[in-house]
Amino acid sequence: MPPTPASKLPRVGTTIFTVMSQLAAEHQAVNLGQGFPDFAVPARLVDELDKTMRAGHNQYPPMTGIPALRQAIADKTGRCYGWRPDVDAGITVTSGASEAIFDAVHAVVHPGEEVIVLDPCYDCYEPAIELAGARAMHVPLDPLTFAPDWGLVRAAITAKTRMLLINSPHNPSGAMLDAGDMAAIADLLRGTGIFLLSDEVYEHIVFDGARHESVLRYPELRERAFVVSSFGKTYHCTGWKLGYCIAPPALSAEFRKVHQYNTFCSFAPAQHAFAAMIQAEPEHYEQLGAFYEAKRDRFREQLLSTRLKPLPVPGGYFQLVDYSAVSDLDDLAFCRWLTTEHGVAAIPLSPFYENPPPGQRLARLCFAKNEATLDAAIQRLRKL
């Protein structure tokens, strides 16, 4: 008999995003579940990718990322946040933000240690922590506003705590941390050996005149932090799987030890394309918030004609809706019913939690879609 594997992730199955996307395809549903745009990548980016492949940039790039892209990232960071990271020792290009999160956890977290995560949280966090032999300590956000209670976070800190993981703008809610939150985090971590991992993949998708409070704005925080960003989210090309991590040189050195034996390097032609795009069209990321704010506002107005209640969305490209006026089903059952019976795929919130709030009736819809896609979904949602 062949050996039977003892799973290192016994509680992990197929992600809810894959499950709902497959269900959407099977039932020809409008897919507002998985968070990917269905509109075009910027034309310059496609042209630059084609040009760089034809120029022969198709072999292994440097492990840390090509110099031109790291230079562009440093320039962009300085322009956005008033601080410029070390081009050679502080920036590492990765195969998407998920790889960067995995590498950061494994760079500094040891077996038996603890990582504090704020629920609801993205589903790749805990598996990375568990594979490091550590334990995820779940601290709930407010179930209505998704704001953190820093007193609860402080109470969760133990002698085993090695990392705090934050995410702003937040997936799935779109909630954002403000300057007061940054001060609270600094107060929590001051004088400790706790590292900070900041997932900022929606950094440019912020609304209503708000400012993204990147950890990189705050010297006391960035000295102990890994800050993760995503080109896929910013440039509408999630399938290209390219991101990066900014960290102090000492942390980057440990991060790169994991990165080089995980993926070693990332898609070379896209690195050249992004380097050119960042430098040539800064207005793309500068105007991204306004681009998505218009989509948010239009979609929210349409939802008001349905029985779904939209929650506030300060940032990101997801809209939470309260469906309690429609159904008493739990969120998993509701999203399956919505997909199979009404032809609109959504994501339930409970998979983002260790312990979902009792009676919560929320689902996540993605509005990073063409108007025609959102219009088709609304027509079906009005029939609920």
Tokens of 91: 């920036």
Identify the pLDDT of residue 100. 98
Identify the pLDDT of residue 234. 98
Q: How many CB atoms lie within 10 A of CB 160?
A: 13
Pairing of strands 243-246, 309-310: unpaired
3-state DSSP assignment of residue 206: strand
Cα–Cα distances in Å, from 237 out to 38, 61, 334?
10, 20, 30
The CATH architecture of the domain made up of 43-283 is: 3-Layer(aba) Sandwich (3.40)
Identify the pLDDT of residue 55. 98
Identify the pLDDT of residue 253. 98
Identify the pLDDT of residue 57. 97
* In the chain, % of residues over pLDDT 90: 95
CB 258 within 8 A of CB 107: yes
Please state the domain extents for the chain. Answer: 16-41+286-381, 43-283
CB 9 within 8 A of CB 102: no
329 pLDDT more than 90: yes
Supply the angle between the helices 43-54 and 268-280 in degrees, to the nearest 10.
130
pLDDT bracket for residue 221 (50, 70, 90): very high
Report the mean per-residue pLDDT for the chain: 97
Identify the pLDDT of residue 13. 83
The pLDDT of 210-229, averaged and rounded, is: 98
Contacts with 191 (C-beta within 8 Å, 6 or more apart), sequence order: none
Alpha carbon distance 367, 365 (integer Å): 6
Tokens of 96: 């998407």
Mind listing the pLDDT tens digit for each residue in 14-42?
888 889 999 999 999 999 998 899 999 99
The pLDDT of 276-287, averaged and rounded, is: 98
Closest alpha carbon to 32 in 305, 329, 368, 379 = 368
CB 273 within 8 A of CB 48: yes
Pairing of strands 344-345, 114-119: unpaired
Identify the pLDDT of residue 378. 98
Tokens of 339: 């997909």
Tokens of 148: 């953190």
Closest alpha carbon to 34 in 58, 14, 5, 6 = 14
Mind listing the pLDDT tens digit for each residue in 77-107?
999 999 999 999 999 999 999 999 999 999 9
3-state DSSP assignment of residue 193: coil
What's the topology of domain 16-41+286-381?
A: Aspartate Aminotransferase, domain 1 (3.90.1150)
Alpha carbon distance 381, 300 (integer Å): 13
Mind listing the pLDDT tens digit for each residue in 343-356?
999 999 999 999 99
Mind listing the pLDDT tens digit for each residue in 145-202?
999 999 999 999 999 999 999 999 999 999 999 999 999 999 999 999 999 999 999 9
Alpha carbon distance 279, 44 (integer Å): 11
136 pLDDT more than 90: yes
